[in-house]
Amino acid sequence: MPEQASAPAGPRRLIRRGRYYEDFEMGAVYPHHWGRTLTDGECQLFATATMNAVPLYFNKLHAERMGHPAVPAHPLLVMNVVFGMTVEDLSEQALAHLGYWNLRFPRFTYPGDTLVATSEVLDKRESASKPDRGIVHVRTTGKNQRGEEVCVYERRILVKKRSAYGGL
């Protein structure tokens, strides 16, 4: 029997993250707190690891030929990085991510840019078939360090109800 350390005697503070269906307010805007700087290595790795065979995203000579100051980040890396920062506030308690609507990239993103994301709750409704869940409709906006929009999309998320799953 391995020796087991006993838990420290003081009070335990249990941390849970993620909003349940009841926690979303129509019209609320949630700033996602982290922010994320993209490096050139990350941009190059994403393009090649996802087999994105577009030299604009991994060839400096080609990017310059296309009029860019540097090799840009692939837009789907930008989308994924923005999306990732939203999860703690939007979908850490989700049952499923249903899809994407009206995804646009108003400007390119380059290595060294720092992205921040905010999301607005556009709609919420209870599931017609299952009482333990609801669908939340949000619009997420990613901006760079100059406040310029670089990625905007809407998303629908299937979220647990706190009443059904006993969240804290």
Partner 1 sequence: MSAAMEHRFTRDDNLYEDFTIGETIVHPRGRTISDGEHMLWTNFVLNTAQLHFNQKMCIDSPDTTFGGRRVVYGGIVFAFVAGLASEETEENAVCILSYDEGRHLNPVFAGDTLFAESTVLAKSEDDPRIARCGAPAPGLGPGKAGVVKFLLRGLNQRGEVVLEITRELVILKKAHRP
43-54: b (≥16 Cβ within 10 Å) or e: bbebbeeeebee
DSSP state letters, 30-92? EEEEEEEEPPHHHHHHHHHHTT---GGGT-HHHHHHTT-SSPPPPHHHHHHHHHHHHHHHHTT
68 binds partner 1, rule: CB under 8 A: yes
The distance of closest approach from Cβ of residue 58 to partner 1 in the complex, given in angstroms and rounded to an integer, is: 10
Size of the site for partner 1 (CB under 8 A): 53
How far is the C-alpha of 60 from the C-alpha of 2, rounded, in Å? 57
**79 or 136, CB closer to partner 1?**
79
**10 or 129, CB closer to partner 1?**
129
Restricted to residues 116-155, the positions that interact with partner 1 (CB under 8 A) are 153
Which member of 20, 108, 113, 137 binds partner 1 (CB under 8 A)? Answer: 108
65 binds partner 1, rule: CB under 8 A: yes
**28 or 101, CB closer to partner 1?**
101
**10 or 166, CB closer to partner 1?**
166
The distance of closest approach from Cβ of residue 18 to partner 1 in the complex, given in angstroms and rounded to an integer, is: 8
The angle formed by the CA atoms of residues 107, 113 and 114, to the nearest 5 degrees, is 110
How far is the C-alpha of 138 from the C-alpha of 41, rounded, in Å? 31
Q: For 7, which DSSP code?
A: P
CB-CB contact of 168 with 14 (8 Å): yes
Side-chain-facing half-sphere of 85: CA atoms under 13 Å: 25
The distance of closest approach from Cβ of residue 10 to partner 1 in the complex, given in angstroms and rounded to an integer, is: 25
Residues near partner 1 (CB under 8 A): 17-18, 34, 36, 42, 46, 49-56, 59, 61-62, 65-69, 75-77, 79-81, 83-85, 87-88, 91-92, 94-108, 153, 160, 165
